[in-house]
Structure 1
Amino acid sequence: MSTPSTQKTPLLEVRDLSVTYAGGAQAVRGVNLTVDAGRKLGIAGESGCGKSTLALALLRLLPARTKVTGEILLNGEDVLAMKWGQVRAVRWAGASIVFQGAMHSLNAVHRIGDQIAEPILLHKKATPAGAKKKAGELLEHVGLPAARANAYPHELSGGQRQRVMIAMALACDPDLIIADEPTTALDVMIQAQILRLIEQLVSQQDLGLIMISHDLAVLSDTCDRLAVMYAGRVVEEGPSAAVFENAQHPYSKALSGAFPRIGDRSSRFAPRGLPGDPPDPSALPAGCTFHPRCPVALDSCTTQDQELRDAGAARRAACVLVEPGAADASLRQGAEEARSTS
């Protein structure tokens, strides 16, 4: 007699997702990701690595002529296969997004209370009076007085506007929130407040969270797991602390090394970085797309691309120097040292 399966369906499952813009730019290439309810996934990478394109693809917010293939399963249903009416029903109610740059995302000529109430009314979750009341409650939920609902965006500070964006994302009680650079242009004190707020909301409401940033340090402090993207692909993924402190892919290592450690004099006086820029997505190099910038590239890297492979406990990395099944980085570190001294 078989035992009933207790495995839960992931809140979000992305399978082999690829995005190609009109003109041939391959912005996302074969990405696979999973997010469970109550869990936080960070996506890191430089500008131009495909992070924001991935976020927009999840809710079908890309330009009409963009080619999108693969599967985006939200609560088991493929967003890419939905009819237009189903997609509209999913936006805000199933999944919502916090865009970077709140001043550019809010309508300058409408009061913020009306903007928060708009998705509530569109999804018929309340009467106009009820939507107005909930807008005030949401503002209080994110640390702003309900009376600020009558304010215009220009009357709020940067941190307050970002709180409004988070309140708007919560308006229809979504299961998943996608936060695309939610702390861009905020000072460090306000940034810390916004990050703590997001963490609390995810924990209290059992939401799934995808947080996108170029700042690996912020993501490692906020998220459970990290996925590092380069040239449209995930090149490393694993537990946040492990990826940040002991990266297995040379690109992840460079991102991590760009942030000085408190108390580490060597990183303070000689911060590490990475020369060059990510490749043009319409003219990707052959082989491993990172090899032109990689400090430990082998000859084979110029012709052979690398798939994600086992890099330890719950970790994967797409690098020829990562041995399948390796429990630690000792073998890879030895290879790197040999290459750098040759």
Structure 2
Amino acid sequence: MSTGGNDAAQRTNFLAVEDLSVTYRTGSGDVPAVRGVDLAVAPGTKLGVAGESGCGKSTIALALLRLLPSTARMSGRILLDGEDVLTMKWGRLRAVRWAGASIVFQGAMHSLNAVRRIGDQIAEPILLHEQRTPAEVRTRVSALLEQVGLPQQRAAAYPHELSGGQRQRVMIAMALACNPRLIIADEPTTALDVMIQAQILRLISGLVSDHGISMLMISHDLSVLADTCDRLAVMYAGRVVEEGAAHEVFSTPRHPYSEALSAAFPRIGDPASRRRPRGLPGDPPDPAALPAGCSFRPRCPAAQDRCAETDPALWRAGAERRAACVHVLSDEQAVELGVPPAPAAPSAAPPDRPANGADPAQPEEIR
């Protein structure tokens, strides 16, 4: 999934994030929120980004369209259709927002203007980016509302007159207003109940498929991403720790953190997983004081002494799979990469010989 600077890959991926790092300047020093992340989204495909709060997911979403505050310092490259967002002039960047790529924020009530009718808010990006008459804009707004399952009459409503699910549909309509080629969905269903969440996810997936749009969806819910996306990247402490086909990462994770996220969801028809839910003790590390070696080591049930000495990269972990964990390496690969070898398994103790000198491994009749 990583482009690795390959020109051919850049041409086939509408979005290519290369070695992206984001650091926030604070009164107590610099805080690294994203550390050397590579991501790619091909046209018409859906990439999910999962992880706990504070792992850097939303920072990446905002960085893609340069929406971060002035205290953020970014390095690396963010290529949208071959153009680097980080070096765009403001005029070009304004043209790319909404028309090239748009974003659906979590919490629609905080993103919509409470004193403007929703029809006017959907119309605003169309008026800014396209040359259309007022009548054409009204027709386009009506069509967008119908696309997301809302009656045309709701164009005259204010945000507070809509339910949570309806407001989220309005945000999706706004994201589609200028026919973008990429939609960034940042926790689009967090505040919704289970039934409405399922409806919104079906709606987003259907619209993406019907229009051939690329999508980057961010969520802490691994099961939602596994059902919605083609590929999945799991983040921890500002880095991607596993990536691969979404259903494979969810069902057969190769990194202990991905395994913990997957195990947090009870399996339907499995009473044992319901009676003994598995959690992950502890909290993510402070970005300003990361532990030595593997950042997941303090919480990892499979941690070894060598994990404190090795800062793992994304290593091959199967067909089109990568994981940042020493456990995916064979002994030969570890030697080649300069990683300390795995500790030797303890040898089984030989059985005690009885006092009469008989060998307990021999049958009684042979003794």
Is TM (by shorter chain) over 0.5?
yes
Q: Distance in 2 between matches of 1:101 and 1:325?
A: 48
> 1:305 corresponds to which residue?
311
Q: 2:284 aligns with which of 278, 281, 287?
A: 278
CA deviation after TM superposition for structure 1 residue 281, in Å: 1.3
Whether 2:181 is the aligned partner of 1:175: answer: yes
> 1:39 corresponds to which residue?
45
Against the structure 1 CA distance between its residues 274 and 129, is the aligned structure 2 distance closer, same or farther, given a 3 Å change threshold?
same
Against the structure 1 CA distance between its residues 123 and 274, is the aligned structure 2 distance closer, same or farther, given a 3 Å change threshold?
same
SS state at 1:184 partner: coil
> 1:21 corresponds to which residue?
24
> 2:62 corresponds to which residue?
56
- If the length of structure 2 is used for normalisation, what is the TM-score? 0.86
Q: 2:113 aligns with which of 101, 107, 116?
A: 107
> 2:199 corresponds to which residue?
193
> 1:141 corresponds to which residue?
147
The one-letter code matched in structure 1 to 2:130 is: K
> 1:330 corresponds to which residue?
none
CA deviation after TM superposition for structure 1 residue 145, in Å: 0.6
- If the length of structure 1 is used for normalisation, what is the TM-score? 0.92
| Cα shift readout 1:152-183 (whole Å, capped 9, x = no counterpart) | 00000010000000000000100000000010
Whether 2:148 is the aligned partner of 1:157: answer: no
CA deviation after TM superposition for structure 1 residue 325, in Å: 11
Q: 1:252 aligns with which of 252, 258, 261?
A: 258
Whether 2:294 is the aligned partner of 1:291: answer: no
Residue pair 2:145, 2:170 contacting (<8 A) in 1 also: yes
Q: Distance in 1 between matches of 2:71 and 2:150?
A: 40
Q: Distance in 2 between matches of 1:128 and 1:310?
A: 54
Residue pair 1:114, 1:132 contacting (<8 A) in 2 also: no
CA deviation after TM superposition for structure 1 residue 8, in Å: 4.6
Whether 2:243 is the aligned partner of 1:229: answer: no
CA deviation after TM superposition for structure 1 residue 125, in Å: 3.9
Residue pair 1:125, 1:172 contacting (<8 A) in 2 also: no
Whether 2:80 is the aligned partner of 1:77: answer: no
Give the 5 Å matches for 1:86-97.
Answer: 86-97=92-103
Larger radius of gyration: 2
CA deviation after TM superposition for structure 1 residue 64, in Å: 1.4
Unaligned segments of structure 1, at least 5 residues: 327-334
Q: Distance in 1 between matches of 2:112 and 2:330?
A: 47
Q: Distance in 2 between matches of 1:64 and 1:130?
A: 37
Against the structure 1 CA distance between its residues 7 and 58, is the aligned structure 2 distance closer, same or farther, given a 3 Å change threshold?
closer
Q: Distance in 2 between matches of 1:223 and 1:215?
A: 12
The one-letter code matched in structure 2 to 1:251 is: Y
SS state at 2:325 partner: coil
Residue pair 1:309, 1:324 contacting (<8 A) in 2 also: no
The one-letter code matched in structure 1 to 2:245 is: P
Percentage identity across paired residues of the two chains? 71
Q: Distance in 1 between matches of 2:258 and 2:194?
A: 23
Q: Distance in 1 between matches of 2:302 and 2:195?
A: 38
SS state at 1:119 partner: helix
SS state at 2:179 partner: coil
Against the structure 1 CA distance between its residues 240 and 112, is the aligned structure 2 distance closer, same or farther, given a 3 Å change threshold?
same
Whether 2:125 is the aligned partner of 1:122: answer: no
CA deviation after TM superposition for structure 1 residue 7, in Å: 9.1
| Cα shift readout 1:195-225 (whole Å, capped 9, x = no counterpart) | 0001101111000000000000000000000
Q: Distance in 1 between matches of 2:107 and 2:134?
A: 28
Residue pair 1:27, 1:53 contacting (<8 A) in 2 also: yes
Unaligned segments of structure 2, at least 5 residues: 1-7, 333-341, 347-367
CA deviation after TM superposition for structure 1 residue 226, in Å: 0.4
Against the structure 1 CA distance between its residues 49 and 256, is the aligned structure 2 distance closer, same or farther, given a 3 Å change threshold?
same
The one-letter code matched in structure 1 to 2:152 is: A
Residue pair 2:263, 2:278 contacting (<8 A) in 1 also: yes
Residue pair 2:11, 2:81 contacting (<8 A) in 1 also: no
